[in-house]
């Protein structure tokens, strides 16, 4: 009888862990960067290899940092929303073109519109790795001091903007500093 109790206990434990795992949202992966300075990087921009873009460019303003690629299907899904946001809002949007061919990135922005004030070219993916990017698209909300305040994995939706991102932007803009 006792020889069956251990396997039964292990089985029950696994079922409980599986049940807990099934209730979690895979889009809500906690980021170790929340509340910490944006990871350091300096990269050439997509449109001008002689111009550098770095984490220092975030400081002094609340901004969005969107990791994207021309080969990314989900990026194409969220892109019209970013273009619209760039036209109707004063929130600066910066990009990190992740593991992409430069010519493809330029063509994509020309064809679909460019919502970014600037977009860094991360051909090797090292900056994305340092930011903890799991896959594209991912979007970060950075405060005036260059601190990461929010991370969204997957495409941004209108609901994300209205219920989470825009209210956080207003709150961060109102904070002293």
- Residues 60-107 have pLDDT tens digits of 999 999 999 999 999 999 999 999 999 999 999 999 999 999 999 999
> How large is the greatest C-alpha to C-alpha distance in the chain, in angstroms?
74
Write down the pTM of the prediction: 0.82
Q: pLDDT-derived band of residue 13, with 50, 70 and 90 as boundaries? A: low
**Residue 54 domain boundaries:** 32-174
- Residues 15-70 have pLDDT tens digits of 666 656 565 555 455 567 799 999 999 999 999 999 999 999 999 999 999 999 99
Cβ pair 90, 169 in contact under 8 A: no
In this structure, what CATH number is given to the domain that contains residue 105? 3.40.30.10
How far is the C-alpha of 167 from the C-alpha of 123, rounded, in Å? 33
| DSSP notation for 32-51 | TTTTSBPPP-EEEBSS-TTS
β-sheet bridge partners, residue 119: 95
* Residue at 3 is within a domain: no
């Amino acid at each position: 009888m006792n020889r069956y109790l251990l396997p039964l206990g292990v089985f029950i434990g696994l079922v409980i862990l599986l049940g807990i795992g099934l209730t979690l949202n895979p889009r809500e992966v906690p980021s170790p960067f929340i509340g910490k300075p944006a990871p350091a990087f300096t990269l050439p921009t997509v449109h001008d290899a002689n111009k550098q873009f770095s984490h220092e460019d975030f400081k002094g303003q609340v901004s969005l940092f969107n990791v994207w690629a021309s080969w990314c299907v989900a990026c194409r899904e969220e892109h019209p929303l970013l273009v619209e946001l760039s036209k109707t809002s004063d929130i600066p949007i910066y990009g990190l073109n992740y593991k992409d061919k430069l010519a493809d990135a330029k063509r994509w922005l020309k064809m679909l519109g460019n919502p970014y004030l600037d977009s860094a070219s991360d051909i090797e993916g090292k900056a994305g790795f340092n930011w903890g990017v799991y896959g594209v698209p991912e979007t970060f909300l950075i405060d005036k001091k260059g601190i990461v305040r929010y991370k969204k994995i997957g495409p941004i939706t209108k609901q994300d903007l209205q219920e989470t991102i825009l209210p956080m932007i207003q709150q961060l803009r109102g904070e002293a500093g």
